[in-house]
Structure 1
Amino acid sequence: MKRLSGVVAILMLVLIAGCTSTPVRNPLAQWHGSPNHEPRRARIIVLHHTAMDSAEGALRTLQTRNAGGPVSSHYLIGDDGRRYQLVADDARAWHAGSSRWSGIGDLNSYSIGIELDNDGREPFSEPQIQSLLVLLADLTGRLGIQPHLVVGHGDVAPTLKDDPSVWFPWQRLAQAGFGLWPREVLGTPPVGFDPWLALRVVGYDLRDPEAALVAFHRHFRGNEARTWQPGDAEILHDLQLQLMDMPAVPGP
């Protein structure tokens, strides 16, 4: 009887070990596993556009490699709204590259990457945005990611990337509760207000100030102006006030 009990115990340990090694898969998306990942935990969501002609082509790239080496993301959303998961939520996908937000580098270790099937030269489809909103609600709720920490690849890597392009509807996401967006009524910044300091408070890396300013304009103004524009200070002042009213974000 003791020998039988020992065998049962061993079998249970094997089963438990098998369960703990199984990737966490989201039932909201089809699993298309990619080997390009490492363990980690997420605190921010980074949005991309694929800059390719089809979701199928993007899937192949995200499961293999491109000219610069292996790449992956946690999710891909097709133009038709279909969701694919390539990397488990608790694994480190290779999507953000050299990036920085709010003073934190190596964002691959702390982010969820979502690729959107879009070539960067056209509006994003309604089914795709609706599907993205469903996924964002799931991820922020289930993983405890603060809803305002949804940013673009161009925001976190302003010298290298411009996705998800000026066509992306950031205001639409904010209306659904995701990302940061200025309120309709903007106050007047106080005397001595420093827009560069506010840009840093929002999260932008100022090692290349012009690139950071372009990324800000792309996200919040729908253009890629390289110099300060009328209304920028009011927007940054409002974003800064919103962040000051939020609870502290846990460290990585």
Structure 2
Amino acid sequence: MKSVRLLAVLLGLLVISACATAPPRNPLADWRPSPNHEPRRARMVVIHHTAMRSAEGALLVLQTRNSGGRVSSHYLIGEDGRRYQLVAEQERAWHAGSSRWAGMDDINSISIGIELDNDGSEPFSDAQIGSLLELLADLTDRLGIQPHLVVGHGDVAPTKKDDPSVHFPWQRLAQAGYGLWPREAVGPAPAGFDAWAALRLVGYDLRDPQAALAAFHRHFRGRQDREWLEGDAAILHDLQLQLMELPQATAE
């Protein structure tokens, strides 16, 4: 009898231990676990497109070791708006590679990666963007991520990546409160305004200036020119003002 009771106690402890160590799962998404992760804490969100033909195909790549090396993201959103969670939010997924934003390196260690089922050549569906906005509302509120720190993979890795493509509706996200977007009444930049310095302040890595400029144009102007365009300085001046108006993040 004592041995039976002891076994019951041990089993109970195992159950409690398993519950305590199990990674939290977001009820907003279907749990599709990937083993490709490490522990960390998120400070920003990076949006990608899969450049594949289907969500199921992307899930297979994100859950396995493939020819290009292991890759994963925290979430994948299908064209129909269905959400999948592959990695727990406190774990470090492998989605951003070598990247940099606002002077911060190793973006994988400080970000949530969200893949969107899109091949990069077509608009994103309303269902998908609506689902993304719902997820962003949850993540920024629950994890304390500053809403303006929602960027694209091409923003943090401008020399190598161009996702989520010129078709991504950054303005719609900004209207919902995520990321930055120039305000409608954008006035001219003041005399002597340093557009390159402003580009760095927004967050872009200027080690390859033309690549950073192309990433800025892709995000804010829906094109990928590698030279300055008329109106760029006014946009950057407004973005700079918006950043200066943000409340300071509290130290933790």
TM over 0.5: yes
Q: Which runs of 4+ in 1 moved over 3 A?
A: 5-16, 249-252
Matched with 1:105 is 105
Matched with 2:137 is 137
Matched with 1:171 is 171
Matched with 1:205 is 205
One-letter amino acid of the counterpart of residue 109, structure 1: S
Q: Distance in 2 between matches of 1:170 and 1:193?
A: 25
For residues 25-36 of structure 1, the aligned pairs below 5 Å read 25-36=25-36
Q: Distance in 2 between matches of 1:28 and 1:225?
A: 38
One-letter amino acid of the counterpart of residue 65, structure 1: R
Q: What SS does the corresponding residue of 2:38 show, helix, strand or coil?
A: strand
Matched with 2:247 is 247
Deviation at 1:12, TM superposition (A): 6.5
Q: Distance in 1 between matches of 2:22 and 2:212?
A: 40
One-letter amino acid of the counterpart of residue 243, structure 1: L
Q: Distance in 1 between matches of 2:17 and 2:203?
A: 40
Matched with 1:49 is 49
User: Percentage identity across aligned positions?
Assistant: 73
Deviation at 1:65, TM superposition (A): 2.7
Q: Does 1:72 align with 2:72?
A: yes
TM-score (norm 1): 0.94
Q: CA RMSD in A?
A: 2.0
Matched with 2:87 is 87
Matched with 1:236 is 236
Deviation at 1:115, TM superposition (A): 0.2
CA deviation profile, 1:147-172 (whole Å, cap 9, x unmatched): 11100000000001000000000000
Q: What SS does the corresponding residue of 1:112 show, helix, strand or coil?
A: strand
Q: Distance in 1 between matches of 2:249 and 2:156?
A: 17
One-letter amino acid of the counterpart of residue 58, structure 2: A
Matched with 1:183 is 183
Deviation at 1:9, TM superposition (A): 8.2
CA deviation profile, 1:7-61 (whole Å, cap 9, x unmatched): 9987775444322210110000000000000000000000000000000000000
Gaps of 5+ in 2: none
Q: What SS does the corresponding residue of 1:215 show, helix, strand or coil?
A: helix
> Paired residues, what number?
250
One-letter amino acid of the counterpart of residue 229, structure 1: L
